[in-house]
Homo-oligomer: A and B are copies of this chain.
């Protein structure tokens, strides 16, 4: 693929540091070219161990640093508008964490700026569109097999909310994921919203309206209801059931998509090992590369390879003879003491 994409990362907090790690060690074809954060010490921590990354305190300086070809915005929401306008002015493609711009007036200014530019440069970080289950649900709905979607029943639960989380943030921080997911899944705009407020859980901080129950209407006549409960205490759950004219499909239950139609409720069985173990293959090769670059070798050993061959040979003899066949391995060299993974 040729040269690596040089990325300037704006913001080196929790999400920013995670994206820096991802660009450096997980994603293929990119490198971190510059980082900007108001706190230079935090930025330096985030790039520790990555060669040749310059750290800045000014957005503009980072965008203009040598080798920068793209921008990942992970700074706090209020800083997004200025950063986006700066990136658009330079023609740089942007991945901007959500919310793109917290207030809709500012968000609309980005839309207008990009529209004036006449070409798309901005991708917003609604990562559910990249989740395997959401994509299966989207593909199912688009395929039309279940007919028109009538309702989405959504659940969004967190163990506990961060300090200073407000009642409004259940909507504009948490439910914003469902807002985007609903628009994307349905291909419709939302036209009205109601929020119901059950008596707050005793597990919620004093004064926080948690849980809430939000109902959206769409321009296609569908309903979207969302239970948002950010102090449920027991785990993180994101569930979505699409109820359609000819069946329903549910994701988020720690199994693949459950499709109910014509008399049964079914999950998909993959067609082959490349589907089932796609991620395992990726991780296998990645871990091998990571180790090799550090001068190490991990994973199944030559001894494991030998043992597998020896056992398989005995198995074939058992198959052919119809008898129980004993297995005797050679002595194990000390190099292979213990089991590795």
Q: Are A195 and B130 in contact (CB under 8 A)?
A: no
**Pairs of residues from A and B, 10 with the lowest C-beta to C-beta distance, nearest first:** A199-B221, A255-B255, A100-B305, A235-B269, A266-B266, A115-B333, A172-B312, A107-B306, A264-B266, A171-B315
Listed by A's residue number, 18 A-B pairs whose Cβ atoms lie within 8 Å are A27-B285, A93-B288, A111-B302, A111-B303, A130-B283, A151-B213, A158-B272, A172-B312, A176-B308, A176-B311, A190-B307, A191-B326, A193-B314, A196-B215, A233-B245, A234-B262, A237-B260, A255-B267
* Copies of this chain held together in the complex: 4
Provide the residues of chain B in CB contact with A254, threshold 8 Å: 255-256, 265, 267-269
Provide the residues of chain B in CB contact with A129, threshold 8 Å: 284, 299-300, 341
Provide the residues of chain B in CB contact with A115, threshold 8 Å: 333-336
Q: A61: CB under 8 A from chain B?
A: no
Q: A89: CB under 8 A from chain B?
A: no
In the complex, how many angstroms separate the beta carbon of A236 from the nearest chain B beta carbon?
5
Additional A-B contacts beyond A7-B289, A235-B263 (14; CB < 8 A): A22-B282, A70-B288, A70-B292, A111-B302, A111-B303, A115-B334, A118-B335, A123-B288, A172-B313, A175-B312, A180-B304, A235-B271, A255-B267, A266-B267
Q: A184: CB under 8 A from chain B?
A: yes
